[in-house]
Amino acid sequence: MGAHEDYLPFIGGLAREAGALLLKHFGRVRIEYKGGVDLVTAADRASEALIVERLRTRYPRHDIVAEEGGGNESGAEYRWYVDPLDGTTNFAHGLPLFAVSIALERQGRLVAGVVYEPVLDELFAAQAGQGASLNGKRIQVSGVQSLREALVATGFPTHKRHKNPNIHFYHAITLRSHGVRRLGAAALDLCYTACGRFEAFWEFNLKPWDTAAGTLIAREAGGRVSDMVGGEYDLASPEVLASNGLVHEELQELFEEIFAGRNPQLPSAEEYRQHRPDLVRPRAMK
Protein backbone atom coordinates (compact mmCIF):
# COMPACT_ATOMS: atom_id res chain seq x y z
CA MET A 1 0.00 0.00 0.00
CA GLY A 2 1.90 3.04 -1.23
CA ALA A 3 1.82 6.34 -3.02
CA HIS A 4 -0.01 5.00 -6.09
CA GLU A 5 -2.80 3.27 -4.22
CA ASP A 6 -6.36 4.34 -5.04
CA TYR A 7 -7.55 5.45 -1.62
CA LEU A 8 -10.90 6.89 -2.66
CA PRO A 9 -13.06 3.74 -2.72
CA PHE A 10 -12.07 2.92 0.86
CA ILE A 11 -12.27 6.38 2.40
CA GLY A 12 -15.37 7.28 0.41
CA GLY A 13 -17.12 4.21 1.80
CA LEU A 14 -15.80 5.01 5.27
CA ALA A 15 -17.12 8.58 5.11
CA ARG A 16 -20.53 7.28 4.02
CA GLU A 17 -20.52 4.81 6.91
CA ALA A 18 -19.69 7.56 9.39
CA GLY A 19 -22.31 9.80 7.82
CA ALA A 20 -24.98 7.14 8.26
CA LEU A 21 -23.99 6.90 11.92
CA LEU A 22 -24.35 10.67 12.29
CA LEU A 23 -27.84 10.57 10.79
CA LYS A 24 -28.90 8.10 13.49
CA HIS A 25 -27.95 10.72 16.09
CA PHE A 26 -29.22 13.74 14.15
CA GLY A 27 -32.09 15.50 15.88
CA ARG A 28 -31.66 13.72 19.20
CA VAL A 29 -28.18 14.49 20.46
CA ARG A 30 -27.17 15.44 23.99
CA ILE A 31 -25.06 18.57 23.89
CA GLU A 32 -22.03 19.06 26.12
CA TYR A 33 -20.09 22.29 26.43
CA LYS A 34 -16.30 22.22 26.54
CA GLY A 35 -15.12 25.72 27.26
CA GLY A 36 -17.65 28.44 26.57
CA VAL A 37 -19.74 27.66 23.49
CA ASP A 38 -17.64 24.92 21.90
CA LEU A 39 -20.00 22.00 21.35
CA VAL A 40 -19.14 18.35 21.34
CA THR A 41 -21.69 15.60 21.09
CA ALA A 42 -21.89 11.84 21.43
CA ALA A 43 -22.12 11.79 17.65
CA ASP A 44 -18.67 13.40 17.24
CA ARG A 45 -17.09 10.74 19.38
CA ALA A 46 -18.95 7.82 17.82
CA SER A 47 -18.09 8.95 14.29
CA GLU A 48 -14.42 9.48 15.17
CA ALA A 49 -14.15 6.12 16.93
CA LEU A 50 -15.55 4.39 13.84
CA ILE A 51 -13.22 6.16 11.42
CA VAL A 52 -10.10 5.77 13.55
CA GLU A 53 -10.74 2.08 14.15
CA ARG A 54 -11.17 1.41 10.42
CA LEU A 55 -8.04 3.41 9.51
CA ARG A 56 -5.92 1.69 12.16
CA THR A 57 -7.06 -1.72 10.96
CA ARG A 58 -6.31 -1.04 7.30
CA TYR A 59 -3.25 1.21 7.73
CA PRO A 60 -1.68 0.30 11.09
CA ARG A 61 1.57 2.15 10.37
CA HIS A 62 -0.07 5.46 9.48
CA ASP A 63 -0.49 8.37 11.88
CA ILE A 64 -3.93 9.82 12.57
CA VAL A 65 -4.76 13.38 13.60
CA ALA A 66 -8.39 13.58 14.70
CA GLU A 67 -10.37 16.52 16.08
CA GLU A 68 -11.59 14.80 19.24
CA GLY A 69 -8.13 13.44 20.09
CA GLY A 70 -8.63 9.81 19.15
CA GLY A 71 -5.64 9.56 16.83
CA ASN A 72 -1.93 8.96 17.25
CA GLU A 73 1.25 10.63 15.98
CA SER A 74 4.63 8.94 15.69
CA GLY A 75 6.26 10.75 12.76
CA ALA A 76 5.09 8.22 10.17
CA GLU A 77 5.40 8.83 6.44
CA TYR A 78 1.61 8.92 6.05
CA ARG A 79 -0.79 10.95 8.16
CA TRP A 80 -4.60 10.99 8.17
CA TYR A 81 -6.62 14.06 9.11
CA VAL A 82 -10.09 13.29 10.42
CA ASP A 83 -12.95 15.64 11.20
CA PRO A 84 -15.71 13.24 12.26
CA LEU A 85 -18.36 15.98 12.30
CA ASP A 86 -17.61 19.29 10.66
CA GLY A 87 -20.43 21.67 11.54
CA THR A 88 -21.05 20.38 15.04
CA THR A 89 -23.03 23.44 16.11
CA ASN A 90 -25.31 23.08 13.08
CA PHE A 91 -25.75 19.40 13.87
CA ALA A 92 -26.52 20.01 17.53
CA HIS A 93 -29.20 22.55 16.67
CA GLY A 94 -30.84 20.42 14.01
CA LEU A 95 -29.54 22.40 11.04
CA PRO A 96 -28.80 19.95 8.19
CA LEU A 97 -25.44 21.40 7.15
CA PHE A 98 -22.63 19.17 8.40
CA ALA A 99 -20.11 16.74 7.00
CA VAL A 100 -17.48 14.07 7.55
CA SER A 101 -13.99 14.98 6.33
CA ILE A 102 -11.09 12.54 5.83
CA ALA A 103 -7.76 13.31 4.17
CA LEU A 104 -4.39 11.63 3.72
CA GLU A 105 -1.05 13.42 3.66
CA ARG A 106 2.29 11.91 2.69
CA GLN A 107 5.42 13.78 3.77
CA GLY A 108 3.65 17.13 3.73
CA ARG A 109 1.77 16.57 0.46
CA LEU A 110 -1.96 15.89 0.36
CA VAL A 111 -2.64 12.60 -1.40
CA ALA A 112 -6.38 11.99 -1.15
CA GLY A 113 -9.45 13.42 0.53
CA VAL A 114 -13.20 13.09 0.81
CA VAL A 115 -15.95 15.22 2.33
CA TYR A 116 -19.35 13.64 2.77
CA GLU A 117 -22.57 15.56 3.48
CA PRO A 118 -25.01 12.86 4.64
CA VAL A 119 -28.29 14.80 4.53
CA LEU A 120 -27.86 15.60 0.82
CA ASP A 121 -25.92 12.36 0.19
CA GLU A 122 -23.12 14.31 -1.51
CA LEU A 123 -19.64 12.82 -1.58
CA PHE A 124 -16.87 15.17 -2.70
CA ALA A 125 -13.61 13.40 -3.46
CA ALA A 126 -10.16 14.01 -4.89
CA GLN A 127 -6.87 12.22 -5.33
CA ALA A 128 -3.73 14.16 -6.17
CA GLY A 129 -3.33 14.69 -9.90
CA GLN A 130 -6.62 13.03 -10.78
CA GLY A 131 -9.17 15.85 -10.47
CA ALA A 132 -12.13 16.20 -8.15
CA SER A 133 -15.60 14.73 -8.21
CA LEU A 134 -19.06 14.97 -6.66
CA ASN A 135 -20.83 11.62 -6.43
CA GLY A 136 -18.49 10.29 -9.11
CA LYS A 137 -18.96 13.15 -11.59
CA ARG A 138 -16.11 15.51 -12.38
CA ILE A 139 -16.40 19.00 -10.89
CA GLN A 140 -14.61 22.28 -11.52
CA VAL A 141 -14.62 25.78 -10.12
CA SER A 142 -16.84 28.50 -11.55
CA GLY A 143 -15.90 30.88 -14.34
CA VAL A 144 -17.02 34.08 -12.57
CA GLN A 145 -14.27 36.68 -13.03
CA SER A 146 -15.40 39.61 -10.89
CA LEU A 147 -15.89 39.87 -7.14
CA ARG A 148 -19.04 41.93 -7.61
CA GLU A 149 -20.62 38.90 -9.34
CA ALA A 150 -19.20 36.39 -6.88
CA LEU A 151 -21.00 34.57 -4.08
CA VAL A 152 -18.45 33.93 -1.35
CA ALA A 153 -18.38 32.26 2.06
CA THR A 154 -16.69 32.68 5.40
CA GLY A 155 -16.87 31.45 8.97
CA PHE A 156 -16.46 32.71 12.51
CA PRO A 157 -14.91 30.98 15.52
CA THR A 158 -16.93 29.48 18.35
CA HIS A 159 -14.60 30.91 20.99
CA LYS A 160 -12.43 34.02 21.48
CA ARG A 161 -14.60 35.84 18.98
CA HIS A 162 -13.53 39.21 20.34
CA LYS A 163 -9.96 38.46 19.19
CA ASN A 164 -10.95 37.54 15.64
CA PRO A 165 -10.84 40.33 13.00
CA ASN A 166 -13.17 38.64 10.52
CA ILE A 167 -16.15 40.92 11.12
CA HIS A 168 -14.19 43.67 9.30
CA PHE A 169 -13.62 41.37 6.33
CA TYR A 170 -17.26 40.29 6.34
CA HIS A 171 -18.32 43.94 6.35
CA ALA A 172 -16.10 45.00 3.45
CA ILE A 173 -16.62 41.94 1.25
CA THR A 174 -20.39 42.03 1.71
CA LEU A 175 -20.36 45.51 0.16
CA ARG A 176 -18.23 44.49 -2.83
CA SER A 177 -19.49 41.01 -3.70
CA HIS A 178 -22.78 39.49 -4.80
CA GLY A 179 -23.16 38.17 -1.27
CA VAL A 180 -21.46 36.44 1.64
CA ARG A 181 -22.73 33.21 3.20
CA ARG A 182 -21.81 31.53 6.45
CA LEU A 183 -22.58 27.80 6.44
CA GLY A 184 -20.76 26.91 9.65
CA ALA A 185 -18.79 24.04 8.07
CA ALA A 186 -15.43 24.90 6.50
CA ALA A 187 -15.09 21.56 4.70
CA LEU A 188 -18.35 22.23 2.87
CA ASP A 189 -17.34 25.82 2.10
CA LEU A 190 -14.19 24.52 0.38
CA CYS A 191 -16.11 21.86 -1.53
CA TYR A 192 -18.81 24.31 -2.59
CA THR A 193 -16.03 26.51 -3.94
CA ALA A 194 -14.66 23.49 -5.79
CA CYS A 195 -17.94 22.75 -7.54
CA GLY A 196 -18.82 26.37 -8.37
CA ARG A 197 -21.52 27.07 -5.82
CA PHE A 198 -19.21 29.66 -4.29
CA GLU A 199 -16.50 31.64 -6.02
CA ALA A 200 -14.39 31.93 -2.87
CA PHE A 201 -14.08 31.12 0.81
CA TRP A 202 -11.91 32.64 3.52
CA GLU A 203 -11.57 32.08 7.24
CA PHE A 204 -9.25 32.63 10.19
CA ASN A 205 -7.98 30.17 12.81
CA LEU A 206 -8.90 26.86 11.24
CA LYS A 207 -7.30 23.53 12.12
CA PRO A 208 -5.71 21.01 9.74
CA TRP A 209 -8.64 18.59 9.99
CA ASP A 210 -10.99 21.43 8.96
CA THR A 211 -9.20 22.10 5.68
CA ALA A 212 -7.14 19.08 4.61
CA ALA A 213 -9.67 17.28 2.43
CA GLY A 214 -11.43 20.40 1.18
CA THR A 215 -8.17 22.07 0.21
CA LEU A 216 -7.18 19.15 -2.00
CA ILE A 217 -10.66 18.96 -3.54
CA ALA A 218 -10.65 22.69 -4.34
CA ARG A 219 -7.21 22.54 -5.94
CA GLU A 220 -8.01 19.43 -7.95
CA ALA A 221 -11.17 21.18 -9.23
CA GLY A 222 -9.00 23.95 -10.67
CA GLY A 223 -9.17 26.35 -7.74
CA ARG A 224 -6.48 28.26 -5.95
CA VAL A 225 -5.75 28.01 -2.22
CA SER A 226 -3.38 30.37 -0.42
CA ASP A 227 -2.94 32.23 2.80
CA MET A 228 -4.47 35.70 3.14
CA VAL A 229 -1.63 37.50 1.36
CA GLY A 230 -0.99 35.06 -1.47
CA GLY A 231 1.63 32.83 0.11
CA GLU A 232 1.54 29.09 -0.27
CA TYR A 233 -1.10 27.55 1.99
CA ASP A 234 -0.17 24.60 4.15
CA LEU A 235 -2.12 22.86 6.87
CA ALA A 236 -0.24 24.69 9.61
CA SER A 237 -1.38 28.07 8.28
CA PRO A 238 -4.03 29.68 10.53
CA GLU A 239 -5.73 31.53 7.66
CA VAL A 240 -7.02 30.26 4.35
CA LEU A 241 -8.29 31.80 1.13
CA ALA A 242 -9.71 29.47 -1.52
CA SER A 243 -11.21 30.63 -4.79
CA ASN A 244 -11.91 29.80 -8.39
CA GLY A 245 -8.58 31.51 -9.12
CA LEU A 246 -10.24 34.26 -11.16
CA VAL A 247 -11.25 36.43 -8.20
CA HIS A 248 -8.24 35.57 -6.05
CA GLU A 249 -6.10 38.63 -6.80
CA GLU A 250 -9.04 40.98 -6.34
CA LEU A 251 -9.79 39.48 -2.95
CA GLN A 252 -6.15 39.70 -1.88
CA GLU A 253 -6.02 43.37 -2.83
CA LEU A 254 -9.14 43.96 -0.76
CA PHE A 255 -7.64 42.03 2.14
CA GLU A 256 -4.60 44.32 2.04
CA GLU A 257 -6.88 47.34 2.34
CA ILE A 258 -8.73 45.81 5.27
CA PHE A 259 -5.53 44.82 7.08
CA ALA A 260 -4.38 48.45 6.59
CA GLY A 261 -7.58 49.72 8.21
CA ARG A 262 -9.03 51.23 5.03
CA ASN A 263 -12.55 49.83 5.52
CA PRO A 264 -15.61 51.44 3.93
CA GLN A 265 -17.82 53.06 6.54
CA LEU A 266 -21.46 52.22 7.07
CA PRO A 267 -24.10 54.45 8.66
CA SER A 268 -24.54 53.79 12.33
CA ALA A 269 -27.67 52.19 13.72
CA GLU A 270 -28.46 55.52 15.37
CA GLU A 271 -28.33 57.28 12.01
CA TYR A 272 -30.54 54.62 10.47
CA ARG A 273 -33.12 54.93 13.22
CA GLN A 274 -33.37 58.69 12.73
CA HIS A 275 -35.01 57.94 9.39
CA ARG A 276 -37.26 55.28 10.92
CA PRO A 277 -38.96 56.76 13.98
CA ASP A 278 -41.23 53.72 14.13
CA LEU A 279 -38.20 51.72 15.31
CA VAL A 280 -38.18 53.60 18.60
CA ARG A 281 -39.54 51.17 21.15
CA PRO A 282 -42.40 52.67 23.17
CA ARG A 283 -41.83 52.82 26.90
CA ALA A 284 -43.86 50.45 29.01
CA MET A 285 -46.91 51.94 30.68
CA LYS A 286 -46.55 52.45 34.39
Domain locations in the chain as residue ranges: 8-138, 147-259
Q: 118: which residues sit within 8 A by CB, 6+ positions away?
A: 16, 19, 20, 22, 23, 98, 99, 100
pLDDT at position 37:
47
> Residue 196 in contact with residue 140, Cβ under 8 Å?
yes
Instruction: Please state which CATH number belongs to domain 147-259.
Output: 3.40.190.80
pLDDT at 102: 98
Per-residue burial over 260-276, b = 16 or more CB atoms within 10 Å of its CB, e = otherwise:
eeeeeeeeeeeeeeeee
* Amino acid letter for position 125: A
Strand partners, 100: 116
Letter string b/e over residues 118-137, b meaning 16 or more CB atoms within 10 A of that residue's CB: beeebbbbbbbeeebbbeee
Q: Which CATH number fits domain 8-138: 3.30.540.10, 3.40.50.10800, 2.60.40.10, 1.10.3720.10?
A: 3.30.540.10
CB 34 within 8 A of CB 145: no
pLDDT of residue 168: 86
Q: In 3-state terms, what secondary structure has residue 38?
A: coil
Which candidate, 36, 41, 38, 66, places its Cα nearest to that of 54? 66
Those residues of the chain that have pLDDT short of 50 are: 1, 37
Count of all residues that appear for the chain in the document:
286
Confirm if 44 and 18 have CB atoms less than 8 A apart: no
Distance CA 251, CA 141 (A): 16
User: Rounded distance, CA 191 to CA 119, Å?
Assistant: 15
